[in-house]
Structure formats: structure tokens, C-alpha cells
Chains A and B, each alone.
Chain A
Amino acid sequence: MLLGVNVAGLSLKHPVMNASGILGSSPEHVDILVSYNVSAVVTKTITLQPREGYETPIIIELPSGGVLNAVGLANPGAEAVKSLVSRAKALKAPLIASIGGRNEGEFIDVAIAVDEAGVDAIELNLSCPHTKGYGIEIGVDPHNVYSVTKNVASITTKPILAKLGLSDSIVKSCEKALSAGAKALTLINTVKAMFIDVYAAKPVLSNIFGGLSGPPIHPIAVRVVYEVYRELKPEIVGCGGVSMWSDAAELILAGAKAIQVGTALMKGGEVVTHILKGLEEWLKIMNLKSIEEAVGLAQV
């Protein structure tokens, strides 16, 4: 098993899962993601109550490459997670619930619901850059990261991954998440950005600001993973602009044990198979026996 990895207590057949926000809010989405051959299905960020999300446009493919989105955490609410779990179990796919909230109390309530629903792990969305009151507004403050993670860890025995985003305090936030009980870190979320149509002379996203994803943020993700691994040596799920095997390999060499693919899935699921094939060949060329042997190898 060249490609098998253990991350956050989950034994995965290979390191590539989908990033939260890509499908992941209905049983049919779970079917589609499993058909893409991801090793674990990560749900859309689930909040306690259903959310409609923002008015369109919610997403733009940018002329300069990359994708900008402000979906507004549209999701079916905590109650719907049971149907996702039962579909994932029927397909024998591990399910990681991404959860969000505006404060510790909301995170706890959602965590209880998804724990009871039987998810395999919980990813705390502490870094969504475009939904007021959620995400990065919490995650940018290491004390909040500690408090949310600690509270969730107190009510569940499921592994917790803390998903953090780009900020000056990222290393400190990672340290706090780990000391509060996170088994792993997902790095990084999208990066707050905007796009203006120069003829309409207006911002295009209905929310004005959104999260940038895709190839433009990949070098940022590599840098963050490298720095956090160097300082803390945690288990990391690398995320940000992975669209080919070498992008995944870079994140692994920087310190990631597993990978999430988001934007690149817009071309369909074939990208997962291409990445896995590329990684397998690369491991052989590098004379490495497993992904785990490659983790952090680029550290100098």
C-alpha cells in the first residue's frame, strides 16, 4: 500500500480527499464524490440551522486563473448530516463533517449533532473568509481557536481537524488548536479576495468579497504547510490549489500527510485518479516506500 495513509486517526486508502465546499451537502453529492474516488468525503460546512447562502453570482472563474467564491455557507443544517452519513456508510467511504458556527455554543451544538449522526471525524471551519461572523473572524484569533477546539473536543471522541486560513497568526493558531485537542490541521482555506468587472465598473460577487482558490493560492498553501510543519510537526491535511500530482507532492514534501482537492474538481473527478497515478510513480522514482516517508522531506 504505497499510497495508504493514517491521518487524524483515520486509516485512508490514499491521501486525496475533497475539500469542504465541493458538493457534500446531499446524499447524491456523496455518491458523486465517491465516484470521483476520494479517500474520504468531506461535507460542505454544516451549521446548526440550514442556510440558503448568498444570491448569485457566488462563484467566478477569474481571467488570471483561479476561482473566487462567496457561497455564504449554504448548507442543509445539522439535521441533514444523518442522510450523508448513511449514504457514505453504504458506500464504505469515511465521512468527515466540516462544521461551522458563530461562537463556541453553536460549534458545540453542531458537533453534538454530527457526532450522534456517526461521522468519522470533524473538521472545524475556522477560516471561511467571506461569511460574516463565521470562519476567519473566529480563526484569526488564536484564543478563539483554542476555545472552540477545546469545547468541541470536550463533547466528542471523534478526531478533530482544525481548518485554518491565511493570517499573520497562523502558526500561533495552529499551536492553539493542537493544544486544545485537534488531532490534525487542514491548511489552508481560501484567501479573501475580490474581482471587479471593469466595464460594469462593479464588484461581481453578490457578497463583494470572496475566497480565492485554485492554482494562484498553491504556493501560499505550500509556504504555510512548510512553516507550520517546521514549527510544530503536526499532522497536516494540505489544501490549496492542488490540480496535479506535483502540487500534491509539494504539499507532502512541505509536511502534509494528506491532501484536499477543491477547485480542480470543476473538471470532474478524473483529476483524483491522475494525482494518485502521478504520486505512485513519483514515490517509485524517489525510492520511497510510502507517502508517509515523503512527509516533510523538503524541510531544510
Chain B
Amino acid sequence: MSFRSAKVVNVEELGENIYRMKLKLMENLNADPLPFQFLMVWIPRVKEVPMSISDYVNGSLAILFRVRGRGTEALSRARGFIGLRGPYGRGLNLHIGERILVIAGGVGIAPIPYLVRTASRTGSSIGVLWGVRKASEVICEDELFQGVKPDFFYVATEDCSTNYCGTAIDIAPKLINQGNWDRVILIGPPEMLREGCSRFIEINPMVALESIVKCGIGLCGTCSLKPLPMLLCMNGPLYKCSQVVDYLEHS
């Protein structure tokens, strides 16, 4: 999809160093994006960064991000207009009525509100287990999922400030065993994905990967998942663990 402009509606700090930016596209996307697809977000004359689509309804878009560099820092302060390219990546086509368990770590939660919104349209059900380090990073359910509800939303904290004490991966086995899941999706930092793929090897879950992306359209090769001959922007960011085990080991 070609470049388009968007107006910044607002930026809120939802949790410690976690921001949500709401945008109004000056021209709607040609079709609704698929969950887990991403955009390239341009902060004028600063930088362009890849961002998951956190929510999208009829030209109103939300992105959720942690400030961790010059681009995201500028994004958190951006007002007026920014630019967008995408959506890129293959994304996830939901089957009617399917049951998905999401195990998210940290800001890996970003695309999940849009997954839940899409699932509400296809009659699919999404259970979410979210792990964060400490109480200040927690975002409450209503704030995160605006106007839609997952089947359940459990928050695990490593500082034990919520009912679930530990990492999301620690808590996950019970949930995996309890539910009759059609898919289990892991999303979060690489070490979490590596651990999840290894611990839940018998169910071969899906992982949503992150990488540096520059062109987003398969031309520059920056997002190549070395040593695998795959480009995240062309066939990612979702893979079965078994497809990307070599990449996770090297990353």
C-alpha cells in the first residue's frame, strides 16, 4: 500500500514508558488489515519505525509502543501529522469460531487488542495471558481493549503485584492444558519466544517475531531471519516455532 498521511488524535502513557497513539488516517486503508500485520510509521524528518497495528476501525488507528530509542521517543511527543506505509506482513486469517490462547510478554501485547476486535467479528475466542515485570507496567483490561473483550485477560507480574506471580511462560502450562486451543501464539521479547518454543515443543506454538524493518516490501533484505532464507516482512511476522527454531537460536 502506498504512503498515506495520518493526523495524531492523542498520545497517552498507559503504563510506565508504554504509550498509545491514536491516529485518524487522511485516507482509509483499502481493506481492513489482518491481526499481526504492521505499519511503517514516519515521524517527519526524524525516522521511520515498524509498529504493530494495535487497533483499527474505519480509518481510526491505534499503535502501542514502548519508548526505547530516538524514533519511539520522537513518536511519543509527535503531534500534527505523521506518515504511514503498510499494512505489511502476512498477518493472521482467523477461522470462524476458532479458539486462540495468546501468551504475551511486555509490549508484545501491542497487536492483541486488534486481534480481539477481529475475533469478535468472526466469532472466535481469544484468551490472553500477559506477563510484565512490575506493577507500574500493568494496563487494565478496559483501558487496553477498548470496546471489545477477550475471553479472559490474566496479568502475570514478575514482582508478584498481581494474582499471577512469575513470567507469562511460567504460568502458561496450566492454561495450555486446560483449554482446547486451536492455536497458541507467543509474542514478546526473543528470550521469551525461545523459552516458550522450547518448553511447549510438543504443541509447536506460533510465535510473532520482531525485527528491524526498513523497506517492508521484500526489497532491502534487512528483516531477513538469518540463517533462514526468509524475510519477516514477506511471510511473517507469525511462524510456527518449528519454522524459526534456527533463527531464535541465533537471535
Binding site secondary structure of chain A: loop
Question: Which B residue's beta carbon lies closest to that of A68?
Answer: B3
A286 adjacent to chain B (CB < 8 Å): no
Contact with B along A12-37 (1 / 0, CB 8 A): 00000000011111101101100100
Could you say which residues of chain B place their CB within 8 Å of the CB of A195? 3
Query: A22-B219, A57-B40, A266-B217 are contacts. A29–B3 as well, Cβ < 8 Å?
Result: no
CB distance from B236 to the nearest CB of A (A): 13
Interface flag for A56 (CB, 8 Å): yes
User: Which of B214, B217, B227 is in CB contact (< 8 Å) with A56?
Assistant: B214
Task: Return chain A residues, CB-CB under 8 Å to B217.
Answer: 59, 61, 67, 266
List A contacts of B219 (CB < 8 A).
21-23, 59, 67, 69, 262-263, 265-266
A250 to B85, CA, bound (A): 31
Determine the chain B residues whose CB is within 8 A of the CB of A168 once the complex forms.
none
Are B221 and A61 in contact (CB-based, < 8 A)?
no
B3 & A198 in contact (Cβ 8 Å cutoff)? no
Number of A residues near B (Cβ < 8 Å) is: 39
Chain B binding surface SS class: loop
A26 to B230, CA, bound (A): 12
Which single residue of chain A is at the shortest CB-CB distance from B80? A200
Q: B133 an interface residue at 8 Å Cβ cutoff?
A: no
Most chain B C-beta atoms within 10 Å of own C-beta, residue among A57, A69, A202, A267: A57
Let me know if A58 and B220 touch, CB within 8 A: yes
Assembly CA distance A218 to B203 (angstroms)? 50
Binding site for A on B (CB under 8 A): 1-5, 7, 26, 40, 42, 44-45, 47-49, 71, 80-83, 85, 214-221, 224-231, 234
A residues engaging B (CB < 8 A)? 21-26, 28-29, 31-32, 35, 44, 55-63, 67, 69, 71, 74, 195, 197-200, 202, 204, 206, 262-263, 265-268
